Amino acid sequence: MITLRNVYKNCNLCHRNCNVNRYVTKGKCGASNKLRIAKASLHYWEEPFLSQKNGSGTIFFSYCSLKCIYCQNRKISALGIGKDITIKRFSDICLELQRKKANNINLVTPTHYVPSIIKGIKKARENGLRIPIVYNTSSYENVETLKELEGIVDIYLPDMKYYNEEFGIKYSNVDNYFSIAKENIKEMYRQVGKPIFSKEGLLLKGVVVRVLLLPEQVEDAKKIVKYLYDTYKDNIYISIMNQYTPLCNFKKYQNLNRKVTEEEYDELVNYAYDIGVRNAFIQEGETQDESFIPDFNLEGV
């Protein structure tokens, strides 16, 4: 059983397995034992069956266990912008978002705070929290961490970033990303199963896997889509994303210095359709604009 005492004192929540005492020092994620949050607000640009007109109640956690070099949220994932809060305050934030008519509580990059989150969600439910919990993750947890979330999380929203392990090494400094993400998504599906919807069309339970297309990575993204469809068919949703936004100049990886082209994205979407994918989302419009990147201003914290 995960507890604050035995995990934060020897942390192995993610697959980096730092095993550090986070009461004394920080892990590779950058986090201490204290919950740190950068923003909590209604978000209207998630997948349609998460946001709809009322918005998804997003809580952005500071720091990250993966730290991709191209991260659009690097102000919080790498620099740790945010505010330390208590578990009670986290619980209250969830209830405040529910009172604002949020469709769900969307936990963004939560892995390194799972023990605190479990306590906070349980407390919030004791005080009237009824909307679904969304676990929005890079998919680099340890499976044992996810097992502790059974009964806590209703909707899993994992990334599947790379099929070829070489890209995980280059862009995220991990040499086993696909093998870990694959097992984690398997556990997520075991817990929540096929999608369940409300009569209004909101997702209440299920798995939605995000595939972010990177420039010059169409073939790798195709392999991810094929793996997901071959494994889960239409029992999960696949969100095919084109919103990669270059935020700095990469000298080593020149491909990351541009946006994804329409031709690249259309090739991936058409491939998904051709192999049979139907439960999927695609992006249209100016999703690559920097204005879509949240302003981490401590709103709602």
- Are 232 and 189 spatial neighbours (Cβ–Cβ below 8 Å)? yes
Say which amino acid occupies 126. E
Instruction: Count the neighbouring beta carbons within 10 Å of the beta carbon of residue 123.
Output: 17
pLDDT in tens, 112-146: 999 999 999 999 999 999 999 999 999 999 999 99
User: Is residue 32 over pLDDT 80?
Assistant: yes
pLDDT over 90, % of the chain:
93
What is the domain partition of the chain in residue ranges? 4-292
Average pLDDT for the chain: 95
pLDDT bucket at 169, cuts 50 / 70 / 90: very high
* pLDDT of 295 higher than 90: no
What gap in Å lies between CA 229 and CA 275, rounded to an integer?
A: 8
In this structure, are residues 56 and 50 in contact, taking their beta carbons and an 8 Å threshold?
yes
Neighbours of 34 (CB within 10 A): 16
The interaxial angle of helices 165-172 and 177-192, nearest 10 deg, is: 100
| CB burial readout 212-221, b (16+ within 10 A) else e | bbbbebbebb
pLDDT of residue 175: 94
pLDDT in tens, 83-93: 999 999 999 99
Alpha-carbon gap, residue 123 to 144, rounded angstroms: 22
| pLDDT (mean) for 8-24 | 95
Higher pLDDT, 291 or 65: 65
Joined together, the tokens standing for residue 77 give: 């994932």
- Residue 4, classified by CB atoms within 10 Å of its CB into exposed (0-12), middle (13-18) or buried (19+), is middle
Task: List pLDDT tens digits, range 6-15.
Answer: 899 999 999 9
Tally DSSP H helices, then E strands, for the chain: 10, 10
Q: What is the pLDDT of residue 182?
A: 98
pLDDT recorded at residue 287: 62
How much is the pLDDT for 14? 96
- Please report which confidence band the pLDDT of residue 284 belongs to, taking 50, 70 and 90 as the band edges: confident
Q: State the average pLDDT over residues 242-257.
A: 92
d(CA 64, CA 173): 13
Q: Is the pLDDT of residue 289 over 80?
A: no
Whether 85 contacts 96, CB under 8 Å? no
How much is the pLDDT for 137?
A: 98
- pLDDT score for 135: 98
Instruction: Give the residue among 151, 68, 73 at the shortest CA–CA distance from 108.
Output: 73
125 CB burial (10 A radius; 0-12, 13-18, 19+): middle
The pLDDT value given to residue 290: 53
pLDDT category at 3 given cuts 50, 70, 90 is low
| Residue 4 confidence (pLDDT) above 70 | no
In CATH terms, the fold of domain 4-292 is: TIM Barrel (3.20.20)
Confidence band, pLDDT 50/70/90 cuts, at residue 249: confident
* 293 confidence band (pLDDT: 50, 70, 90): confident
